[in-house]
A and B are shown apart, each in its own frame.
Chain A
Amino acid sequence: EVKLLESGGGLVQPGGSMRLSCAASGFTFTDFYMNWIRQPAGKAPEWLGFIRNKANGYTTEYNPSVKGRFTISRDNTQNMLYLQMNTLRAEDTATYYCAGTGRGDYWGQGVMVTVSS
């Protein structure tokens, strides 16, 4: 059974940092592009970025809206995906999803991040 489980969310002050984690199981992690997508309450999702699979050298792409503030990384020995978020703003408040794409389209259940003083 495929599972993606995000963790690390919560409340953070504007200007602060937070690291989200995503534990993956049930599929060959290194075969998949791994993605972060966020969704503010009541709004459409926004695709933040991805890290490519082994065959494509684990390189990254970022949405210009977060480039330079957010960093995506993966630990292929632990089947973990990470999102390091710096200089957080109120508009970063959202539910954050990790997703594996490739031979399948797998999403986690999401984790809430609230940026507020």
Chain B
Amino acid sequence: DIQMTQSPSFLSASVGDRVTINCKASQNINRYLNWYQQKLGEAPKLLIYNANSLQTGIPSRFSGSGSGTDFTLTISSLQPEDVATYFCLQHNSWPRTFGAGTKLELK
């Protein structure tokens, strides 16, 4: 299985901050990387697919970059409603595998 190493595990930031979350794959996954947001008690919600494509309805402050093994999710200006846990998911090969998650809270 492809291992997805996500960092940091925990992140505290202020409203308006630029936030970055990283994900590293154990082997080349091309651009087959999605980012999900999960708020407490809710299902994960797709934010970014195929490394850098913004899912319909997602605010433009979210963006993704990377290819191969290294990927980044960026929130350009953190908003209070962005408090959540963020997961990366590789869908280059089966089984699909998630990163361990980054819990984002407000400072």
For residue A51, give the distance in angstroms from its CB to the closest CB of chain B: 13
Return the chain A residue nearest B95 by Cβ. A63
A63-B94, A97-B43, A109-B42 known; 7 other A-B pairs, CB under 8 Å? A44-B99, A44-B101, A47-B89, A61-B94, A99-B43, A105-B49, A107-B43
Which of under 10, 10 to 19, 20 to 34, or 35 or more describes the interface residues of B?
A: 10 to 19
- The answer to whether A45 and B95 touch across the interface, beta carbons within 8 angstroms, is no
Could you say which of B43, B45, B97, B100 contacts A47, with CB atoms under 8 Å apart? Answer: B97
Q: List 6 tightest A-B contacts by C-beta distance, closest first.
A: A107-B43, A105-B46, A47-B96, A63-B95, A44-B98, A44-B100
Q: Classify the interface of chain B: helix, strand, loop or mixed.
A: loop
B81-105 Cβ-contact flags toward A at 8 Å (1 or 0): 0000001010000111111110000
